[in-house]
Amino acid sequence: MIATIGGGFYPSGYSMVMFPDQATAMAVGTELSDADGDAEVFFLTPAAILSQITPTVSDADDPLPSAGTEGATVRAYSKLAKEGHHALLVKTPNEEAADRMMEVVRRFPYSIAQRYRMLVIEDL
C-alpha cells in the first residue's frame, strides 16, 4: 500500500474513511462487513495511523515538493489521528463499490473519506 515513486501511503483500490471515535468506526465497519461477506474492511486505530502511515511521507517532499497530494492527505490523516480519530481502510476497486460503501458511511458522522485510484485521490 506504498507508492512506487516516493514511497508514500497510496493504497490503490482502497478507500480510507476516518471517524471521530472508535464506536462509530466499528459500527460502520461491522455494517459494511455484514452487507458483503467478502468485503475487505480494516480497522485502524490512531496509534496504527501514526506509527504505520504517518512515517511514509517523511521523505515525500525531499528533495523537491511532491506534485501530488499524497503527502498532504497523509498529513490530514495524521492530524485527525492525533485528535483521536479512528479509520477504516475499505477495498473499493470500482465506483460501484465506493458508492455502496458511502451509502453506509454517510449515515454516520465521518471526518474524511478518500478513494485511491490509479494516479488520483478522490474526495468521497
The full set of domain ranges for the chain reads: 14-123
**CA 2-17-29 angle, 5° bins:** 110
Q: pLDDT (tens digit, 9 = 90+) per residue, 14-37?
A: 999 999 999 999 999 999 999 887
CA 43 – CA 110 distance, rounded (Å): 14
Q: Do 81 and 25 form a contact (C-beta atoms < 8 A)?
A: no
Nearest to 11 by CA among 106, 104, 77: 77
Kindly report the CATH class assigned to 14-123.
alpha beta
pLDDT in tens, 33-91: 998 877 899 999 999 999 999 988 765 454 445 545 678 888 999 999 999 999 999 99
- The pTM for the full model equals 0.85
The label of the residue with cell 478513494 reads: 115
3-state SS, residue 16:
strand
Q: pLDDT, tens digit, for every residue of 87-116?
A: 999 999 999 999 999 999 999 999 999 998
What residues have CB less than 8 Å from 76, skipping those under 6 apart? 112
